């Protein structure tokens, strides 16, 4: 064979020196350098090919018999059921006048096998007349502490997993009136009255998702979907101003979009750990006869005096996503003027105003009612409870623009 070849092989299964330190059994083989057999000029001469192949066994490890006490694991089970959605609707349309059609519709859907985070190794609850108790208050090291009951598998702590146990229902009445563009005017009116219920509306801390408060009874978290908007109204209109005579006054259009809908549901929690196992969205107890949504303000959107802290280890009786955040009303308007210079060449001027009336549309409030007290399992009213700190729409914005089409 033309060309030069160099080979080296190294094998030392037991050495603890150099690259074989830490008890690792190592093989290094076929360290090869080959000079390609091309000659004649500088372009083809001097090419070399080098290869190195190495292999080693894994590191040794010890087996212990210790029991995990404060560990957290999360898995995604194989073979989960396939999520699916069934949808149905029926609608009736009627012509009210020329170019104007009204629609009345019922729309429904039901979904099954939604992925839901669940605690697989919760404490085994003690069944009491007041409901299941997952933890107790005990003295540990001279201090009172919340101590979980013995878990299903005492050898492990929290084992969080995903299972396809979620479901959701949606029902809606939809009303609409649509006027096609004629006589310089078009408009559309849409209103939806809907209801949506599920046991969780998204992944944990994502898309409004919460964890199951009781892993032994997932349906105890049934409540309004986080995206349940009971009333939703949208009106839009386009009107061409009836001015004619020259390019200066012709071609002006006024457009408006009005959006209004009720607030989104949100979840109330105690804000402190009256049971310690992860994956528990603890909710408070409701004081009988008290209305949490009376006298709402931006600083306190709900009344904290309507809630009490559940006893240690117990679940609160207040439901999930019961309260509703602020509603939203927004008006956008635009003034448009088009000028045609020649066939296929147009210049459009746009004056757009977003949130025309500069209405603040507040976001959802903080849902934590209590702050931890001096003694484990106790709490005091959180001074920032129910406070709204953000908005869902911007303040009034005015935008000017030119668009040239050719």
In this structure, are residues 89 and 108 in contact, taking their beta carbons and an 8 Å threshold? yes
Is residue 63 very low, low, confident or very high in pLDDT (cuts 50, 70, 90)? very low
- Domain residue spans of the chain: 5-56, 72-405
For the CA atoms of 368, 370, 373, 378, the dihedral, rounded to the nearest 10 degrees, stands at -110
Residue 261 pLDDT more than 80?
yes
Using the predicted structure, report yes or no on whether residue 190 has a pLDDT greater than 80: yes
**Segment 187-216 mean pLDDT:** 83
3-state SS of 79-119 is CCCCCEEEEEEEEEEEEEECCEEEEEEEEEEEEEEEEEEEE
pLDDT mean over 88-104? 95
Going by the DSSP 8-state scheme, the letter that residue 265 receives in this structure is E
Torsions phi, psi for 154 (to 5 deg): -65, -15
What average pLDDT does this structure show over 269-295? 81
Mean pLDDT of 112-134: 89
pLDDT at site 13 = 40
Q: What share of the chain has pLDDT > 90, as a percent?
A: 46
Q: What's residue 65's pLDDT?
A: 37
pLDDT for the residue 280:
55
Pairing outcome for strands 328-342 and 345-354:
antiparallel
Is 10 a residue whose pLDDT tops 50? Answer: no
Instruction: Provide the pLDDT for residue 150.
Output: 93
Residues 309-366: tens digit of each pLDDT? 998 889 899 999 999 999 999 999 999 998 877 777 888 899 999 999 999 999 999 8
Distance CA 157, CA 136 (A): 17
Q: What is the pLDDT of residue 382?
A: 86
Residue 204 has pLDDT above 90, yes or no: no
| Rg, C-alpha atoms of the chain | 34
Average pLDDT over residues 73-91: 82
CA separation for the pair 177, 99 (Å, rounded): 10
According to the model, what pLDDT value does residue 257 have? 97
Q: For residues 371 and 366, give the distance between their C-alpha atoms in angstroms, rounded to a whole number.
A: 13
Phi, psi of 28 (to 5 degrees): -130, 120
Mean pLDDT of the chain: 82
pLDDT confidence band for 238 (50 / 70 / 90): very high
Residue 6 has pLDDT above 60, yes or no: no
| pLDDT of res. 217 | 92
Percent with pLDDT over 70 in the chain: 77
pLDDT at 118 over 60: yes
Task: Supply the pLDDT for residue 75.
Answer: 60
Identify any residues that bridge with 362 across adjacent strands, giving them in sequence order. 391
Q: Exposure pattern of 49-73 as b/e (b: 16+ CB <10 Å)?
A: eeeeeeeeeeeeeeeeeeeeeeeee
What is the per-residue pLDDT across 142-153, written as a single tens digit (0 to 9) for each? 888 888 899 999
If you write DSSP's letter for every residue of 357-388 in order, what string do you get? Answer: T----B-PPP-B-EEE-SSTT-EEE-TTTT--
Dist CA 227 CA 201 (whole Å): 8
Residue 196 clears pLDDT 90, i.e. is over it: yes
Cβ contacts of 288 within 8 Å, gap of 6 or more: none
Strand 135-140 relative to strand 143-148: parallel, antiparallel, unpaired? antiparallel
């Amino acid at each position: 064979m033309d060309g030069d070849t160099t080979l080296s092989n190294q094998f030392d299964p037991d050495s603890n020196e150099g690259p074989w330190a830490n008890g690792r059994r190592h093989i290094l083989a076929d360290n090869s350098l080959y000079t390609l057999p091309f000659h004649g000029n500088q372009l083809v001469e001097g090419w070399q090919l080098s290869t190195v192949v190495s292999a080693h066994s894994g590191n040794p490890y010890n087996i212990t018999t210790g029991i995990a006490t404060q560990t957290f694991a999360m898995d995604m089970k194989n073979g989960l059921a396939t999520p699916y959605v069934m949808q149905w609707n029926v609608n009736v349309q009627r012509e009210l006048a020329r170019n104007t059609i009204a629609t009345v519709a019922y729309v429904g859907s039901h979904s099954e096998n939604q992925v839901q985070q669940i605690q697989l190794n919760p404490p085994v609850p003690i069944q009491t007349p007041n409901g299941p108790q997952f933890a107790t208050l005990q003295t540990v090291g001279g201090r009172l502490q919340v101590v979980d009951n013995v878990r299903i598998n005492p050898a492990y702590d929290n084992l969080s997993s995903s299972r396809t146990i979620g479901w959701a229902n949606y029902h809606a009445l939809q009303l609409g009136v649509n006027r096609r563009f004629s006589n310089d005017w078009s408009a559309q009116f849409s209103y939806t009255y809907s209801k949506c219920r599920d046991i969780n509306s998204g992944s944990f801390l994502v898309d409004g998702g919460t964890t199951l408060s009781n892993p032994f009874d997932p349906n105890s978290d049934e409540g309004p979907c986080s995206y349940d908007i009971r009333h939703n109204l949208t009106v839009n209109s386009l009107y061409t101003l009836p001015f004619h005579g020259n390019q200066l006054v012709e071609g002006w259009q006024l457009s408006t979009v009005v959006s209004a809908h009720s607030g989104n549901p949100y979840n109330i929690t105690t804000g402190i750990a009256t049971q310690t196992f992860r994956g528990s969205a603890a909710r408070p107890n409701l004081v009988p006869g008290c209305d949490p949504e009376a006298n709402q303000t931006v600083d306190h959107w709900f009344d904290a005096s309507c809630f009490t802290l559940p006893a240690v280890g117990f679940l609160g009786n207040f439901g999930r996503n019961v309260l509703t955040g602020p509603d939203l009303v927004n008006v956008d308007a635009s003034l448009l003027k088009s000028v045609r210079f020649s066939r296929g060449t147009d210049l459009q001027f746009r004056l757009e105003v977003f949130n025309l009336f500069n209405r603040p549309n507040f976001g959802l409030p903080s849902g934590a009612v209590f702050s931890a007290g001096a003694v484990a399992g106790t709490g005091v009213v959180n001074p920032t409870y129910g406070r709204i700190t953000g908005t869902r729409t911007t303040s009034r914005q005015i935008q000017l623009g030119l668009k040239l089409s050719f």
